[in-house]
Amino acid sequence: MAHRVYGVLLAEWNDLEAAAEHLRQAEQLARAIGNVDVLSGALRGLALLKRRQNDPVSAAQALAQAQQLDLRYALPHFIRACNAAAYVELALGQKDVATAVHWATQIHLPADASPFFPRLFLTPVRILLAQGQRVAAFGRLAALQRQAEQAGWQWGLVEVRALQALAAPDSETALTCLRAALELAEPEGYVRTFVDKGAAMAALLRRAAARGIMPAYVEKLLAGYDALPFPIDAFRLEKGVVRQAAILGPQAVESLSERELEVLTLLVQGRSNAEIAEKLTVSVNTVKTHLQHIFDKLGVHDRRTAVARARALEIISP
């Protein structure tokens, strides 16, 4: 258990190699003594770590092993729910909302993938955010904030406040929530809680830097983005099977043409193909061609996911 917990801490501090070593030791020791509960937790930690290391195949394999333990030993429903929550996190990391929703249906009691706030049920909020339903997400987070405060889950409280910043209805509220998260997180050296939230959090951190909010710590977190050897959204996980997806970096966003941005803006507004064609004075087939180019550049396969990704990357304002 000590190796497992220390491995998760090291991953948060962005020391991924050392984290992997301790999580592997946790796995080996748990196998040796036959502690399947700890083994499942170690495999779950390894899966999330492998995603951070740009190794989606190993991430899926680790979670599959955790599921096999459940089938063989009938692990408690809570552990099963934690594993499903880990699948949700991996899917949402690629903005694959449909797959995340699939795994969320397997969670029948409050559970999270983190060992430090395991009963803080953040999965529905994460899905709402991915779907662009920020008002609903922000509303739910108020109750979760109180729960984390009452339970003394500081790591969970940092997570809640960071998610509140992403869900906030306006820029000032977002910065207020972000400052609260940063003030709690800085003494403990949190890194990946922020960096793993991708481009939307990076944009908020840049706004905080411009306002002079905790400049040294914010600079450290932004450097964490710069040090990533791969985009966070580098793979897609569908019902436990890894699929390669377009690797989305700034160059992909910048490659959107002016006309494609116009089409994307109208798409975000909920316009149909016919309405977009009429607005831009082009044929429906031309609109379909533009949409396919947009999907390819954003690494998505449908309209809804394109809208979610455009909002998450702040290409189009929510």
Output the tens digit of pLDDT for each of the chain's 318 residues: 999 999 999 999 999 999 999 999 999 999 999 999 999 999 999 999 998 887 777 888 898 899 888 878 888 899 999 999 999 998 887 778 888 999 999 899 999 999 999 999 999 999 999 998 999 999 999 999 999 999 999 999 999 999 999 999 998 999 999 999 999 999 999 999 999 998 889 999 999 999 999 999 999 999 988 766 544 443 333 333 333 333 344 444 556 787 888 898 899 888 999 999 999 999 999 999 999 888 877 777 788 888 877 776 666 654
pLDDT confidence of residue 246: 36
**What distance in Å separates the CA atoms of residue 16 and residue 29, rounded to the nearest whole number?**
20
Contact residues for 266 (Cβ-Cβ < 8 A; gap 6+): 275, 276, 279, 280
Contact residues for 227 (Cβ-Cβ < 8 A; gap 6+): 14
pLDDT confidence of residue 235: 37
pTM of the predicted protein model: 0.72
- The helix (H) or strand (E) run that includes residue 238 is strand 235-238
- The helix (H) or strand (E) run that includes residue 194 is helix 192-195
Q: Phi and psi at residue 238, in whole multiples of 5°?
A: -120, 110
**What distance in Å separates the CA atoms of residue 226 and residue 241, rounded to the nearest whole number?**
29
Domains of the chain: 2-226 (1.25.40.10), 247-312 (1.10.10.10)
pLDDT confidence of residue 242: 34
In this structure, are residues 106 and 113 in contact, taking their beta carbons and an 8 Å threshold?
Answer: no
**What distance in Å separates the CA atoms of residue 152 and residue 165, rounded to the nearest whole number?**
20
**What distance in Å separates the CA atoms of residue 318 and residue 315, rounded to the nearest whole number?**
9
**What distance in Å separates the CA atoms of residue 218 and residue 205, rounded to the nearest whole number?**
6
pLDDT confidence of residue 255: 63
pLDDT confidence of residue 294: 87
| Ramachandran area for residue 301 (φ above 0: left; ψ -120 to 50: alpha; else beta) | alpha
Encode 283-311: b = buried (16+ Cβ within 10 Å), e = exposed: eeebbeebbebbbebbbbbebebbbbbbb
